[in-house]
Amino acid sequence: MSPILMERYRSFLPITEATPIISLGEGNTPLVRAIRLEKEFGCGQLYFKLESCNPTGSFKDRGMVVAVANAMERGNKAIVCASTGNTSAATAAYATRFGLTAVVVVPKGGLATGKLAQAFVFGAKIVVIDGTFDRALDVARALSQRHPVVLVNSINPYRIQGQKTASFEIIDELGDAPDAFFIPVGNAGNISAYWQGFVEYHQAGKASRRPRMMGFQAEGAAPIVRGTAVANPQTIASAIRVGNPASWQGAVAARDESEGVIDSVTDDEIMEAYRLMAIAEGIFGEPAAAAPLAGLMKMARNGHDFSRQRVVCVVTGSGLKDPETALKYTSIPKELPPDVAAVEAALGWG
């Protein structure tokens, strides 16, 4: 098995003789069994797919590598994206590594610090607009139509092609598709990509079934659940603060064709899942990455029976990207004099 994602799944990807095979080490991410939470929520088996272990700390790298390879194949020199943060980190990293210019358009006040730091250190041109992610996407799209710069948001079909490889890895590792697959939904590219991957691998005879797709939006940013765009989306999970998803239809198709669900979870439920995932399993995801577990938690508490099911939740991005949110929910310990007695007293070991 090649360690290079584009080589390993070459026959399922839009790769020609002329496509450069490039990599920053994306893919091949861990699928870990969550024994404690599996008991807690009564699942037959529960796994987390740690997409936070990709080179820039989110699933975006799988799609970016294929989109950037395609841009290079066509001789393009610049790429542009709108982003709530993770896409901009991936855009910036792959662009600088493979000699392209990156422009990232981001909403004011909408980015976790770690993600902005990534775009900054990788040398992207960062444009902050006084508007939402959805407006930033309009701007990025217009730039790509007016200038020789390739749009690398998930409306770029090569992004979806790359991201579907995560489904292949899950099936390759489990030997079959799971019964239920839980995923956060923002701009809805990723749920569309995973569904495409599950469908293609099933058609290729690599899996005997396809999972039910369980997508979760944040309650204050839940256009698909409400059936109408949200002008001013609000949620602590900034990555999925999206009011008018570009791949809306793809998400609905994934839900309907898989007999799945697209529902919402509150910020409180997201933060409960965020802490639970960390404390019970040692997994540090960013708030958006806790939405799948929040969804599973909500369904289990409403009496849904997963006891005969194999369930996979995807952890889409690393908790390290958003230290502010982590620290908001903890108190910084008081400084002590540097001696053992004071430390023992503070620990209650006196």
Instruction: State yes or no: residue 281 binds ligand F0G (CB under 6 A).
Output: no
CA separation for the pair 34, 262 (Å, rounded): 23
Q: Tell whether residue 114 is a contact of ligand F0G (CB under 6 A).
A: no
* CB 350 to ligand F0G: min, Å: 43
Task: Work out how close the CB of 241 gets to ligand F0G at its nearest, in angstroms, rounded to a whole number.
Answer: 8
Closest CB to ligand F0G: residue number: 317
Q: Residue 195 CB, nearest distance to ligand F0G (Å)?
A: 12
β-pairing, 31-33 vs 45-50, is: antiparallel
Told to check if 140 binds ligand F0G by CB under 6 A, we report: no
Q: Which residues contact 120 (CB under 8 A, 6 or more apart)?
A: 126
Binder among 92, 150, 185, 225 for ligand F0G (CB under 6 A): 185
Two tokens, residue 78: 């610049």
Closer of 83 and 264 to ligand F0G (Cβ)? 83
- How far, in Å, CA of 205 to CA of 171, rounded? 11
- Alpha helices per DSSP H over 101-236: 113-121, 133-146, 157-163, 165-174, 189-203, 223-226
Q: Output the smallest distance, CB 311 to ligand F0G, in A.
A: 18
By the rule CB under 6 A, 87 interacts with ligand F0G: yes
Find residue 128's DSSP bridge partners: 106
Among 91, 165, 244, 316, binds ligand F0G (CB under 6 A): 316
| 37, 74, 299 from 42: Cα distances, Å | 8, 50, 11
Cβ atoms < 10 Å from Cβ of 28: 17
Judged by CB under 6 A, the residue of 19, 29, 70, 83 near ligand F0G is 83
Which of 35-43, 80-88, 138-146, 195-203 is the region at the interface with ligand F0G (rule: CB under 6 A)? 80-88
Residues 90-109 interacting with ligand F0G (rule: CB under 6 A): none
Which residues fall within 8 angstroms of residue 234, CB to CB, at 6 or more apart?
220, 221, 241
165 forms part of the interface with ligand F0G (CB under 6 A): no
Binding segment toward ligand F0G, per CB under 6 A, in 78-86, 93-101, 294-302, 329-337: 78-86
For ligand F0G, the binding residue among 286, 292, 297, 298 (CB under 6 A) is 286
Interface with ligand F0G, residue 289, by CB under 6 A: yes
Number of residues near ligand F0G (by CB under 6 A):
24
Give the burial class of 189: count Cβ atoms within 10 A of its Cβ; 0-12 exposed, 13-18 middle, 19 or more buried: buried
Q: Segment contacting ligand F0G (CB under 6 A): 23-31, 167-175, 257-265, 286-294?
A: 286-294
3-class DSSP state for residue 186? coil
Q: Which is nearer to ligand F0G, 4 or 24 (CB)?
A: 24
Distance CA(274)–CA(200), nearest Å, equals 32
**73 in Cβ contact with 204 (< 8 Å):** no
C-alpha distances in Å from residue 192, one per residue of 88, 233, 311 = 20, 21, 18
Please identify which residue in 66, 95, 104, 240 interacts with ligand F0G, judged by CB under 6 A: 240
Task: Enumerate binding residues for ligand F0G (CB under 6 A).
Answer: 58, 60, 83-87, 154, 184-191, 239-240, 242, 286, 288-289, 316-317
